[in-house]
Chain A
């Protein structure tokens, strides 16, 4: 017999934590959070910069501090069970979940399910950068994890491709750690990240910022040696005779995030193939009843404060769904 739980939440980032707390407040008394990492907090643990919580807590917090506020609340509710190092690998339309935990293989059935699995980063392959395939090419979030969690500096002379917030924040982080950031290269006319990050991460440290430019080639055999950069017009077509080279040992790719929704797709939820998000009317809802999605897996949010408040609504919706089932 498969064990049944009232509400299962996949992902213990800000979205999952807010959903759990709100479901509990709205009357759900049996809640299980499955988180694959060793800690709660999700991506916030590696976001050591300030800028979180201004709307939600009316305070400026770092990522780990913002996460801590929710972890503290969770610790006060023993009815919310947190299972760490629990990696969900399969999901069916009847909300049967399979998850791996060191040393065990587990299967449970959820009456209601909230998916809060966050995003993953787009890769070099998704933006088509020609050239060789040497070592030294990282996604910006991976570099962030290496520096802020592992204490490893992935390069000394860095070129950043794309001006999303993660790339901008990493530009400053590399400079503070003693590396040289040679350039930020953005194909659009303007930065794709927040203006405040352009000011405090790029302009503050006089980092060259090339808008309407792209990398035309990556050079290097075993390790990145340099990149060719070229100007583009408003249709992203290369402008002739504008090519120049920048010597570097690493390239960070910061070209956006994609919601992580393969599990619900496996279960048969209707997904928009362009955005990788569920197609259905109403916040956090999907084409399967009682299966909700919140946080960055529902859509890419800029600000964690809105993730928390929208995810609370997911917890509420799940509670309402469970109440209706009991009648």
Chain B
């Protein structure tokens, strides 16, 4: 089976032609860089997305603190992840890169990290 995908790794948006056999990627063309290859395999075999959102701050100079997963998470976990994020509150100063939840959703190696530093007021 052949499938066309739009690579979402960067704003170039390469159109990828993917040959699929037994739900596995056999051949990829149309990508400019190696990220496109990896994306096509992941998209066909286990689709994942980066998740970014905001966490409520209390007593900080920012009302909302942007957060992100340190790597893409399974697409099917996105709404579960949003539910968890909504329960969180940040009350102390944090720096961009700080981990606020380790092994987020029980996913090994996936951490929820702060994307913008903020401080107590």
Contact = CB atoms under 8 A, between A and B. Distances in A.
Nearest to B66: A48
Residue with the greatest number of chain B CB neighbours at <10 A, chosen from A51, A64, A149, A150: A64
Nearest to B79: A176
A64 B64 contact: no
A216 interface: no
Contacts of B96: 64-65, 68
A204 B49 contact: yes
B13 A62 contact: no
Interface string A167-179: 0000000001110
Contacts of A65: 96, 115-116
A150 B7 CA distance: 32
Interface in B100-121: 115-117
B1 interface: no
A303 interface: yes
Nearest to A52: B11
Given A48-B54, A50-B50, A200-B49, A151 B13 contact: no
Interface in A191-213: 194-196, 198-200, 204
Interface in B61-85: 62-64, 66, 68, 75, 78-79, 82
Contacts of B64: 148-151
Contacts of A150: 63-64
Contacts of A194: 11, 13
Nearest to B62: A149
Interface residues of A, number: 28
Nearest to A51: B11
Given A48-B115, A196-B8, A199-B8, A148 B54 contact: yes
A196 B115 contact: no
B52 interface: yes
B52 A62 contact: yes
Nearest to B8: A196
Of B11, B53, B96, chain A has the most CB atoms within 10 Å of the CB of: B11
Contact of B115 (A54, A62, A178): A62
Contacts of A49: 52
B53 A151 contact: no
Contacts of A302: 11
B54 A151 contact: yes
Interface residues of B, number: 26
Given A54-B10, A176-B78, A68 B117 contact: yes
A60 B70 CA distance: 11
Contacts of B79: 176
Nearest to B64: A151
A296 B79 CA distance: 34
B68 A62 contact: yes
Contacts of B13: 194-196
A45 interface: yes
Contacts of B117: 68
A51 B75 contact: no
A9 B68 CA distance: 32
Nearest to A55: B10
Contacts of B78: 176
A198 B6 contact: yes
A64 B116 contact: yes
A64 B8 contact: no
Interface of A: 45, 48-51, 54, 60, 62, 64-65, 68, 147-151, 176-178, 194-196, 198-200, 204, 302-303
27 contacts: A48-B52, A48-B53, A48-B54, A48-B68, A48-B115, A49-B52, A50-B68, A54-B11, A60-B50, A62-B68, A64-B96, A64-B115, A64-B116, A68-B96, A148-B54, A148-B66, A149-B62, A149-B63, A151-B56, A176-B78, A176-B79, A176-B82, A194-B13, A195-B6, A196-B10, A196-B11, A302-B11
5 closest cross-chain pairs (CB), A and B: A64-B116, A195-B13, A196-B8, A48-B66, A54-B10
Given A151-B56, A195-B6, 9 more contacts: A45-B116, A48-B68, A60-B10, A60-B50, A64-B66, A151-B64, A196-B11, A196-B13, A303-B11
